[in-house]
Structure 1
Amino acid sequence: MRPELASLRAAYTDLAEIALSLNEADSWCGTGCPGWSARDLFVHLLGDAQRALVALGTPANRPADRTASTYWIDSPGQEDPESRGLRSVRTMAAAWRLDYLTATYAETTRAVLTLAERCDAESVVATQGHALRVGDFLDTLTVEAGLHHLDLLVGVNRPGPKGEVLATIRRTLEGLLGHPAPAVFDDLTWARIGSGRKVISAADRIALGPDADRFPLIK
């Protein structure tokens, strides 16, 4: 199996298992996304999986203009001063029955994996105004899923992302940084620091040096 597909399979399979394990009380627990419960976050994740289905079926008909790393430079939703995205997701989440939401998420991610396996890794697809190689696009999906997996752990006690998912996040962040991460940071710590999910400590700042002011690399 292609490595980028294996990583996405690990990310999606783990999240689907978490989704299907949630009870009603779990679904209202907080997450690392301010203002969102676990239920809200799965509505967002479902939307991302649906976007993936559309993208994998949409040839770009032009060369790629983003890589797995540079996709994050101007990815949609980074700036939302009026919290429109937050409010719209909360509104949609209130309308879903939990078991239907989680089952829909699980079946949608399975469909994404099936379609991704049929796509040539070098073909170029269109999404959110950009064009990416399928291999790079799958990495962006893994990063999105892996970081939100970390967000879920704030409120629910479940296992964290697998090693291959964290390794994909590390490579992506290193691509944005322009060089390898300091060896002092393990993959989990690097994912949290690089995405703003961990406040940079004085020791972190020393390890990062002048790069510290560039963080978070993914917002």
Structure 2
Amino acid sequence: MILFSRSWSDLLAAVAGLSDEDFARPSGCTGWLVRDLVCHLVVDAQDVLITLATPTAEEPTRDAVTYWQVVEPPTGEDPLDALIVRLAAAYEQPALLKFHLDDVGSAAGRAAALADPTGRVGTQGQVLTAADYLSAYVLEWTLHHLDLVAHLPQTAPPTAESLGRSRELLEGIAGAAFPVSFTDREALLIGTGRRAPTATEAAALGALAARLPFPVG
């Protein structure tokens, strides 16, 4: 739960430091500009708030790893993706989008800090402990932080701690470890299909290469 707060705070700080021009640059998400990605983070923050405000007494059905499911690779044509693009454009001024993310994002961070780790919450028809739910979101924040900085080399990347934990989660989802020669960043980008492996990397992956990517949602 502490790493949730750290990784989220780092991502919010990275967005806060963007220039207006940065919002019109491409992100690491297929079909999305940086402004679209930031708008998606607003929706993510709302989801965190809703979930933490949805307690349940039912037994957990998922944990931090099984919360995630491997989905079809993004194409930019999904109706929800298209909605995000329209919502982002409606802000018109990057400052408004920054303000909304800071407002909702800060509230999500406070709610996470106040959550009972052993409490159970419901989301998407599943039940998790608050600790598992927030731990799962470390992967979300870290991947989107990588998406944010994909074409913004001057922006601070995710921390080594966030990258390492996210790699552990992705390897749990994949049911296999990535080569030790891969950095955590490389494992995440290649593992989720954000970039294709080189010939050398594919050779190191061995049989795992045929199972790539593992886009999660």
User: Same fold per TM (> 0.5)?
Assistant: yes
Q: d(CA) in 2 for partners of 1:154 and 1:79?
A: 16
Q: Which amino acid aligns with 1:147?
A: L
In structure 2, the CA distance between the partners of 1:84 and 1:18, relative to structure 1 (3 Å rule), is: same
* Alignment deviations for residues 109-155 of structure 1 (CA, whole Å, 9 cap, x no partner): 22222211222222221112221221121122221111111111122
- 8 Å contact kept, 1:30–1:38: yes
- Aligned twin of 2:90: 95
- Aligned twin of 2:22: 26
Q: d(CA) in 2 for partners of 1:117 and 1:144?
A: 18
- Aligned twin of 2:210: 213
Q: Which amino acid aligns with 1:108?
A: V
- Aligned twin of 1:176: 173
- Which consecutive residues of structure 2, in runs of 5 or more, have no partner in the other structure? none
- Aligned twin of 2:111: 115
- 8 Å contact kept, 1:72–1:218: no
Q: d(CA) in 2 for partners of 1:150 and 1:181?
A: 18
Q: d(CA) in 2 for partners of 1:130 and 1:10?
A: 25
Q: d(CA) in 2 for partners of 1:30 and 1:149?
A: 13
Instruction: Please show how residues 81-160 of structure 1 align to structure 2 within 5 Å.
Output: 82-96=77-91, 97-156=93-152, 157-160=154-157
Instruction: Please show how residues 53-72 of structure 1 align to structure 2 within 5 Å.
Output: 53-72=49-68
From 70, 73, 78, the counterpart of 2:69: 73
Q: Which deviates more from structure 2 when the two are superposed, residues 133-142 or residues 178-187?
A: 178-187
Instruction: Tell me if 1:196 matches 2:193.
Output: yes
In structure 2, the CA distance between the partners of 1:87 and 1:163, relative to structure 1 (3 Å rule), is: same
Question: How much has 1:57 moved relative to structure 2?
Answer: 1.1
- Which consecutive residues of structure 1, in runs of 5 or more, have no partner in the other structure? none
Instruction: State percent identity of aligned pairs.
Output: 32
Question: How much has 1:28 moved relative to structure 2?
Answer: 0.6
CA RMSD of aligned residues (A): 2.0
- Aligned twin of 1:51: 47
